[in-house]
Structure 1
Amino acid sequence: MKTVQEMLAAANAAVPRIGAEEAKSLADQPHVVLLDVRDAAEVKASGKAKGALNVSRGLLEFRADPASALHDAAFDRAKTIIVYCASGGRSALAGKTLKDMGYTDVRNLGGFKDWVEAGGPVEEV
């Protein structure tokens, strides 16, 4: 049995954390998917990083798996996936899940607040 702290430690070890400045410099590149794993209500309340794909943490596996009827074509194992949530926990776990699913270049931006504080562009939903 694992605790959430152990799961987070494993996720943080598997998925590199990047700063908001690096994420901003990568976000507009065609081989990059900026992924917001917050719930719809959170995104509606605060907006999201401009151009980010919003897939709530609970649906991630279904959207990321090409064999799933719910697959989202934005997910491509050849792309860099930069994940964020509200504070970094869900994005770490989501990043680890994506790595487990065969996505090789996954990075954890951490929290949406980090993006905003670095002056990252935000769009309303």
Structure 2
Amino acid sequence: MFAMFKSGPTISVPEVEAGLRQGTLVLIDVRDPSEIKQSGMAKGAISLPLATLSMRANPSSPECIAELKSGKDIVLYCASGARSAGAARMLTQMGHAPVINLGGLGDWIQGGGDITRA
């Protein structure tokens, strides 16, 4: 249903898990903290809510998180894939590459990914 939000490169959950183990990518959950508290988060993901993304992901900002200065591939997800699609566009405009929209947390679960609960 939300496949329309997945434009650009795609990636499978096993590929994301391998990249996390190898240290070649960063997995970012752009949902609000209340959503993460309610449903958990993909194992290995970093929480970076969309509301703070423009500041905390901008390489020229002193608030930019170290993981986004590493040159690693960036994989994003949210609840449905819509917010992560917008976040992917934003990060690409900031000069990050490659940026991949995994879709929603349901895509992670459907692909066999583990969930961590706060």
TM-score by length of 1: 0.81
What's 1:61 paired with?
54
Give the aligned length.
115
Q: What is residue 35 of structure 2 aligned with on the other side?
A: 42
Supply the AA of the counterpart residue of 1:55: L
Tell me, in whole angstroms, the C-alpha distance in 1 between the residues paired with 2:41 and 2:13.
Answer: 14
Q: State the structure with more CA Rg.
A: 1
Secondary structure class of the residue paired with 2:18: helix
The one-letter code matched in structure 1 to 2:73 is: T
Find 2:73's aligned residue among 80, 89, 103.
Answer: 80
Unaligned runs of 5+ in 1: 1-8
Which whole-Å CA distance do the structure 1 matches of 2:21 and 2:27 have between them?
9
Give the alignment's Cα RMSD to 1 decimal: 1.9
TM superposition score normalised by structure 2:
0.86
CA distance in 1, matches of 2:22, 2:29: 17
The amino acid of 1:48's aligned partner reads M
Superposition pairs of residues 1-125 of structure 1, within 5 angstroms: 13=7, 15-76=8-69, 78-125=71-118
Shift of 1:69: 3.4
What's the CA shift for 1:28?
2.4
Aligned identity (percent) is: 41
Gaps of 5+ in 2: none
26-35 or 97-106, which moves further after superposition?
26-35
